[in-house]
């Protein structure tokens, strides 16, 4: 043993050849990698930032423009896919940019998502709020500096385009909650219908798992550099900061035109496209079409690898085609939540229409062909190995797979329509990954026999199978160092070859975790609890049920009317603690007669949040808890924070 080691390797000859073939296929000059998208990204600066950094609320440096210096070089490094290299260079343009004069302004590079500032008659309308309080505050500061104007005291409204953290998590860095409201003089926050429930599902219900998996997607634990993470595919990098949530004042329920601070804005709902709750806007005075994340300078995800509900490719295509028909002709510019705008110009009079039409076609094609193959009997994996966009669409630079990938999307569409089971009874009740790996090693003969074959595949450049086989040995025996290191080496080459920034991050994070201890990590460990603090009582109680180890309360059978007392309001719920779970419905006074044997319990909202966060002492705060039910529930609560580093690449 001890054949392999845990050092970072360079690109192998196989990887260099692979990357040169990509360059040839896409017509990229590896000595000077440029394209039209890079030109657009580097244009329309109001103020360029070559330096700049910010710290977390607790003082650690979390973002520094200097970390991305590597992306200034035009020669493609051996260890980066040439197409991804151009995207990386385009994404490392940091600054405040003009979309329309100094009236529609976009700030890019300091967060995963862009923030937009629209000039109204007396102040500013802001679209989106970035991911974190820290980055949002920094974006506001540099935008004011670039424009020489006070924006913060003159915010007239905030529009949140959709229910993803990178578009709302920084809102407290832009505005204080006390200034938000529907009253005269307060700032309204507009969000698409269903925004609150969609954020609940993604960031609270499955929040812990998504956060951990997001470390693979975004490469949060990797340092930036050409043999490490280069780009998040939809921006240069993710920011590890503090998330916030402020409940919107207005949920847009139907398509409409609103006049905000003198500006006529169309609100165009596009549910179930890039996000469950999603809207686009057309700003009449500036002839500018805002498409949220429905176009982001790359193929997007129908299924995102951090884990989320599968999106509706058909709805996505429909929304793009409708936008093409309604706004394609009149919009002078299209701008979006990531990447740069596309302007209609004399040389490119169809630039806006083309972006919309190509997006509509890409998602419709993926949807329809995945279904065609599915109906021909292909499995999800077969679809992903077969589906390929037509060149006209697939070679458009803004639809290259830097973030989403048509192969992953094809699999997703299979899953959306017929689920994860492929119909083969062998897969009805599969063994766990560990059991399966142990049997695989046993069938081959020994860990050494598997690794010898895996090494041969590695040497021949068959990195996927080399990684897969070595990973089986890791699952059979996580202490097998040779298996860990060989698997890491193979994953690393897959990363270097990947055109997708997020696949690259995932491969290289897997490699890193096989080579070193996972260890602790400064991240958003408790963000689910922070987001929770801004949510309704109903959602708090739902989440409570998901943090309880149900089997440990299976003996309880209790009927309760629980009143949650907040600062401004109290809400009552009818609960039945039964069968190891918490059944819940709203309380209706009219049904008092059927609830006569229910025990009334009161708790403050603050204490309920404490309980969910794992503070066992909080159970004392439930008044009227005669049977000690809440103490038993408190004792059965699982502290999610202990699972923040759950294993992924190993058992
Ligand atoms: Zn986004």
Q: Which CATH number does the domain housing residue 589 bear? A: 3.30.1050.10
Residue 525's pLDDT is what? 46
Band of residue 202 on the pLDDT scale cut at 50, 70, 90: confident
Q: How far is the CA of 112 from the centre of ligand 1 (A)?
A: 7
Same domain, 121 and 258: yes
| Residue % of the chain over a pLDDT of 70 | 97
Q: How far is the CA of 24 from the centre of ligand 1 (A)?
A: 31
Q: Is the pLDDT of residue 524 over 90?
A: no
Q: Which domain holds residue 387?
A: 32-415
Beta bridge partner(s), residue 342 = 334
Mean pLDDT of the chain: 94
Q: How far is the CA of 644 from the centre of ligand 1 (A)?
A: 23
Q: How far is the CA of 56 from the centre of ligand 1 (A)?
A: 21
Residue 409's pLDDT is what? 98
Band of residue 578 on the pLDDT scale cut at 50, 70, 90: very high
Q: How far is the CA of 129 from the centre of ligand 1 (A)?
A: 11
Does residue 136 lie in a domain region?
Answer: yes
Does residue 8 lie in a domain region?
Answer: no
Residue 57's pLDDT is what? 86
Q: How far is the CA of 390 from the centre of ligand 1 (A)?
A: 26
Q: How far is the CA of 168 from the centre of ligand 1 (A)?
A: 10
Q: How far is the CA of 182 from the centre of ligand 1 (A)?
A: 27
3-state secondary structure 83-147: HHHHHHHHHCCCEEEEEECCCEEEEECCCCCCEEEEECCCCEEEECCCCCHHHHHHHHHHHHHHH
Q: How far is the CA of 163 from the centre of ligand 1 (A)?
A: 9
Q: How far is the CA of 114 from the centre of ligand 1 (A)?
A: 8
DSSP one-letter code for 187: B
Band of residue 519 on the pLDDT scale cut at 50, 70, 90: low
Mean pLDDT value of segment 394-404: 97
Does residue 77 lie in a domain region?
Answer: yes
Q: Which of residues 415, 446, 470 is at a domain's end? A: 415
Q: Which of residues 381, 415, 449 is at a domain's end? A: 415
Q: How far is the CA of 303 from the centre of ligand 1 (A)?
A: 14
Q: How far is the CA of 113 from the centre of ligand 1 (A)?
A: 5
Q: Is the pLDDT of residue 521 over 60?
A: no
Band of residue 535 on the pLDDT scale cut at 50, 70, 90: confident
Q: How far is the CA of 442 from the centre of ligand 1 (A)?
A: 45
Q: How far is the CA of 259 from the centre of ligand 1 (A)?
A: 26
Q: How far is the CA of 300 from the centre of ligand 1 (A)?
A: 10
Read off the pLDDT of residues 613-634 as tens digits, 9 standing for 90 and up: 888 899 999 999 888 999 999 9
Residue 580's pLDDT is what? 97
pTM over the 0.85 mark = yes
DSSP one-letter code for 79: T
Q: How far is the CA of 5 from the centre of ligand 1 (A)?
A: 38
594, 574 Cβ separation under 8 angstroms: no
Q: Which of residues 399, 415, 431 is at a domain's end? A: 415
Q: How far is the CA of 295 from the centre of ligand 1 (A)?
A: 10
Q: How far is the CA of 17 from the centre of ligand 1 (A)?
A: 33
Q: Is the pLDDT of residue 339 over 50?
A: yes
Q: How far apart are CA 585 and CA 571, in angstroms?
A: 11
Number of residues assigned to the chain: 651
Mean pLDDT value of segment 347-376: 98
Q: Is the pLDDT of residue 518 over 90?
A: no
422, 380 Cβ separation under 8 angstroms: yes
533 by DSSP, 3-state: which? coil
Q: Is the pLDDT of residue 199 over 90?
A: no
Q: How far is the CA of 164 from the centre of ligand 1 (A)?
A: 6
C-alpha torsion sign, points 6, 7, 13, 18 = positive
Q: How far is the CA of 512 from the centre of ligand 1 (A)?
A: 26
Q: How far is the CA of 297 from the centre of ligand 1 (A)?
A: 11
Q: How far is the CA of 495 from the centre of ligand 1 (A)?
A: 23
Does residue 438 lie in a domain region?
Answer: no
Residue 501's pLDDT is what? 98
Read off the pLDDT of residues 29-60 as tens digits, 9 standing for 90 and up: 999 999 999 999 999 999 999 999 999 988 98
Q: How far is the CA of 192 from the centre of ligand 1 (A)?
A: 15
Residue 200's pLDDT is what? 72
Q: How far apart are CA 634 and CA 554, in angstroms?
A: 14
Instruction: Output the domain CATH number for residue 230.
Output: 3.60.15.30
Band of residue 530 on the pLDDT scale cut at 50, 70, 90: low
Q: How far is the CA of 293 from the centre of ligand 1 (A)?
A: 6
Read off the pLDDT of residues 442-483 as tens digits, 9 standing for 90 and up: 999 999 999 999 999 999 999 999 999 999 999 999 999 999
| Residue % of the chain over a pLDDT of 90 | 86
Read off the pLDDT of residues 60-105 as tens digits, 9 standing for 90 and up: 899 999 999 999 999 999 999 999 999 999 999 999 999 999 999 9
Q: Is the pLDDT of residue 144 over 60?
A: yes
Q: How far is the CA of 131 from the centre of ligand 1 (A)?
A: 9
Distant-in-sequence contacts of 355-358, Cβ < 8 A, 24+ apart:
355/295, 355/398, 356/291, 356/295, 356/320, 356/321, 356/323, 356/324, 356/327, 356/328, 357/320, 357/321, 357/324, 357/328, 358/392, 358/393, 358/396, 358/398, 358/399
Q: Is the pLDDT of residue 533 over 80?
A: no
Q: How far is the CA of 336 from the centre of ligand 1 (A)?
A: 9
Q: How far is the CA of 381 from the centre of ligand 1 (A)?
A: 27
Q: How far is the CA of 351 from the centre of ligand 1 (A)?
A: 22
Mean pLDDT value of segment 550-561: 96
81 by DSSP, 3-state: which? coil
Antiparallel, parallel or unpaired: β 95-100 and 61-64: unpaired
**How many domains, the chain?**
2
Beta strands in 261-330 (DSSP E): 263-269, 279-283, 288-290
Q: How far is the CA of 455 from the centre of ligand 1 (A)?
A: 39
């Amino acid at each position: 043993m001890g054949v392999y080691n845990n050092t970072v390797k360079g690109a192998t000859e196989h990887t260099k050849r692979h990357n040169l073939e990509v360059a040839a296929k896409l017509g990229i000059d590896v000595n000077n990698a440029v394209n039209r998208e890079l030109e657009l990204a580097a244009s329309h600066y109001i103020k360029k930032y070559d330096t700049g950094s910010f710290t977390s609320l607790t003082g650690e440096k979390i973002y520094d423009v200097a970390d991305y210096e590597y992306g200034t070089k035009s020669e493609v490094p051996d260890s980066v896919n040439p197409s991804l290299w151009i995207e990386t260079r385009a994404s490392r343009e940091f600054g405040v940019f003009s979309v329309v004069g100094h009236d529609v302004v976009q700030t890019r590079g300091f967060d995963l998502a862009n923030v937009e500032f629209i000039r109204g008659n007396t102040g500013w309308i802001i679209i989106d709020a970035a991911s974190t309080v820290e980055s949002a505050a920094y974006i506001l500061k540099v935008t004011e500096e670039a424009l020489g104007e006070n924006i913060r005291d003159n915010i007239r409204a905030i529009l949140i385009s959709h229910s993803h953290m990178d578009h709302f998590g920084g809102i407290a860095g832009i505005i204080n909650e006390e200034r938000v409201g529907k009253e005269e003089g307060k700032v309204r926050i507009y969000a698409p219908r269903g925004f609150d429930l969609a954020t609940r599902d993604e960031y609270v219900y499955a929040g812990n798992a998504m956060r951990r998996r997001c470390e693979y997607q975004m490469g949060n634990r990797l340092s930036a550099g050409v043999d490490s993470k280069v780009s998040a595919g939809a921006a240069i990098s993710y920011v590890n900061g503090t998330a916030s949530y402020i409940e919107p004042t207005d949920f847009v329920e139907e398509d409409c035109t609103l006049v905000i601070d003198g500006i006529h804005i169309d609100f165009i709902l596009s549910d179930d496209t890039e996000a469950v709750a999603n809207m686009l806007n057309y700003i009449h005075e500036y002839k500018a079409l805002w498409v949220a994340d429905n176009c982001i300078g790359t193929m997007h995800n129908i299924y995102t690898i951090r884990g989320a509900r599968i999106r509706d490719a058909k709805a996505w295509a429909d929304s793009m085609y409708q936008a093409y028909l309604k706004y394609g002709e009149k919009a002078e510019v299209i701008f979006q939540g990531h990447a740069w705008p596309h302007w209609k110009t004399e040389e490119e009079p169809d630039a806006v229409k083309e972006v919309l039409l190509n997006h509509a076609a890409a998602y419709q094609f993926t949807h329809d062909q995945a279904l065609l193959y599915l109906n021909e009997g292909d499995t999800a994996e077969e679809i992903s190995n077969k589906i390929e966009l037509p060149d006209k669409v697939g070679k458009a630079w803004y639809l290259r797979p830097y973030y989403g990938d048509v192969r992953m999307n094809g699999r997703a569409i299979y899953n959306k329509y017929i689920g994860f089971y492929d119909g083969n009874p062998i897969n009805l009740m599969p063994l766990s990954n560990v059991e399966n790996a142990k049997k695989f090693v046993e069938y081959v003969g020994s860990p050494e026999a598997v690794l010898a074959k895996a090494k041969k595949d590695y040497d021949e450049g068959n990195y996927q199978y080399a990684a897969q086989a070595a990973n089986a040995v890791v699952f059979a025996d996580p202490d097998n160092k040779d298996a860990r290191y060989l698997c890491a080496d193979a994953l690393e080459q897959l990363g270097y070859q990947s055109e997708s920034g997020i696949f690259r991050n995932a491969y290289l994070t897997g490699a890193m975790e096989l080579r070193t201890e996972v260890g602790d990590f400064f991240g958003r460990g408790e963000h689910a609890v922070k987001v929770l603090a801004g949510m309704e009582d109903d959602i708090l109680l739902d989440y409570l049920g998901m943090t309880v180890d149900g089997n440990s309360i299976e003996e309880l059978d209790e009927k309760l009317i629980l009143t949650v007392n907040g600062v401004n309001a109290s809400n009552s719920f009818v609960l039945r603690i039964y069968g190891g779970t918490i059944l819940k419905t709203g309380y209706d006074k009219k049904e008092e007669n059927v609830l006569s044997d229910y025990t009334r319990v009161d708790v403050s909202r603050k204490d309920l949040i404490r309980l969910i966060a794992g503070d066992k002492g909080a159970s004392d705060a439930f008044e009227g808890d005669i049977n000690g039910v809440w103490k038993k529930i408190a004792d059965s609560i699982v502290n999610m924070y202990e699972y923040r580093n759950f294993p992924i690449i190993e058992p």
